[in-house]
């Protein structure tokens, strides 16, 4: 399956090992002086280890990989002791992975662990900028807009999962591909980006059917003359999947397009 997974730049990695404690699942090891991803099965692809690397050698990518296996991971987790178990459980909650969390709890129950003891305290801070809860103050360098701002939406539906690739509104379209969170973060989304464009939106982190999305986009590029392509993503690591899906779709369609890519931070700035 195609999914998000850790990528290590061997040229940047100096083998310091600081990433190892940041991966309670045991997916990373120092081998021959470099951090290595020892098994796709152990890597959930959420990127908690990224912030622990002082060299910037760790990132995420979308690629063909074996599915993450919580049952196999828990065998390593339990062997590593109570603190590692607590770190893993908090890691899953921090990233909203309630399905894997519940699976881990059931495995721990079957192995005789006291669940109340394991879950009564938090042992680690979340390392992912994409899921870390924080309050954001409105930007002070922009004036509030008076009156009602009209919508610039030119078609429906907008979710890539619901789109018909053969729809006529794609003919000679200026295509806007946006991560779901962008319109909430960027205040002038309609006027700056959406006006006179056909928009497709999805979440590369939460939407699981990546292969279907690549196919749909490829069909759009094959069936229609697309005049321009603009891609919008958030700065968080998991949002890099927007670029990956778009790139793979163009390759599959056998098309070449210059793509304008804009990266938005949670404060609404283009970076």
Q: What would the mean pLDDT of 16-24 be, rounded to a whole number?
A: 80
Residue-level pLDDT at 230: 97
129 Cβ neighbours under 8 A, 6+ residues apart: 51, 235, 236, 237
Percent of the residues in the chain that have a pLDDT greater than 90, as a whole number: 38
Going along the chain from its start, the domains and CATH numbers come out as 2-119 (3.30.70.20), 160-264 (3.40.1360)
- If one compares 24 and 239, the residue with the highest pLDDT of the two is 239
Q: How far is CA 120 from CA 75, 95, 116, 123, 235, in A?
A: 22, 18, 6, 10, 33
Q: Please write the tens of the pLDDT for every residue from 212-237.
A: 888 999 999 999 999 999 999 998 77
To the nearest whole number, what is the mean pLDDT of the chain? 84
Percent of the chain clearing pLDDT 70 (strictly above): 88
Alpha helices in 66-159 (DSSP H): 70-80, 82-94, 98-110, 115-119
Least confident of 55-69, 117-131, 239-253: 117-131
CB 76 within 8 A of CB 68: no
- Tell me, what's the pLDDT at 123? 37
Task: Give the pLDDT confidence of 50-94 residue by residue, as tens digits.
Answer: 877 888 899 988 888 888 888 888 887 888 788 778 878 887 777
Sheet with strand 226-234: strands edge to edge: 198-202, 173-179, 226-234, 259-264
- pLDDT for 197 equals 97
pLDDT interval class at 130 (50, 70, 90): low
Query: CA-CA distance, 165 to 215, in Å (whole number)?
Result: 10
User: Quick check: 211 pLDDT over 90?
Assistant: no
Averaged pLDDT, 170-190? 95
């Amino acid at each position: 399956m195609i999914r998000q997974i850790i990528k290590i730049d061997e040229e940047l990695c100096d083998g310091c090992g600081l990433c190892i404690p940041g991966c309670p699942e045991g997916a990373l090891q120092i081998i021959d002086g470099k951090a290595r991803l020892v098994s796709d099965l152990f890597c959930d692809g959420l990127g908690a280890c990224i912030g622990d690397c002082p060299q910037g050698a760790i990132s995420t990518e979308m690629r063909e990989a074996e599915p993450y296996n919580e049952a196999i991971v828990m065998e390593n987790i339990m062997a590593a002791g109570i603190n590692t178990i607590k770190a893993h459980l908090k890691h899953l909650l921090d990233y909203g992975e309630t399905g894997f969390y519940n699976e881990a709890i059931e495995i721990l129950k079957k192995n005789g662990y006291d669940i109340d003891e394991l879950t009564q305290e938090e042992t680690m801070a979340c390392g992912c900028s994409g899921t870390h809860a924080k309050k954001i103050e409105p930007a002070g360098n922009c004036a509030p807009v008076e009156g009602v701002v009209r919508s610039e939406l030119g078609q429906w539906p907008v979710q890539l999962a619901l789109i018909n690739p053969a729809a006529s509104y794609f003919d000679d379209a200026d295509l806007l591909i946006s991560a779901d969170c962008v319109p909430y973060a960027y205040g002038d989304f309609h006027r700056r980006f959406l006006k006179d464009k056909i928009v497709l939106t999805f979440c590369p982190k939460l939407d699981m059917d990546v292969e279907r999305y690549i196919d749909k986009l490829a069909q759009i590029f094959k069936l229609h003359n697309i005049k321009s392509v603009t891609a919008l993503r958030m700065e968080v690591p998991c949002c890099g999947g927007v670029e990956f899906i778009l790139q793979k779709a163009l390759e599959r369609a056998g098309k070449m397009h210059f793509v304008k890519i804009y990266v938005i931070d949670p404060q609404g700035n283009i970076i």
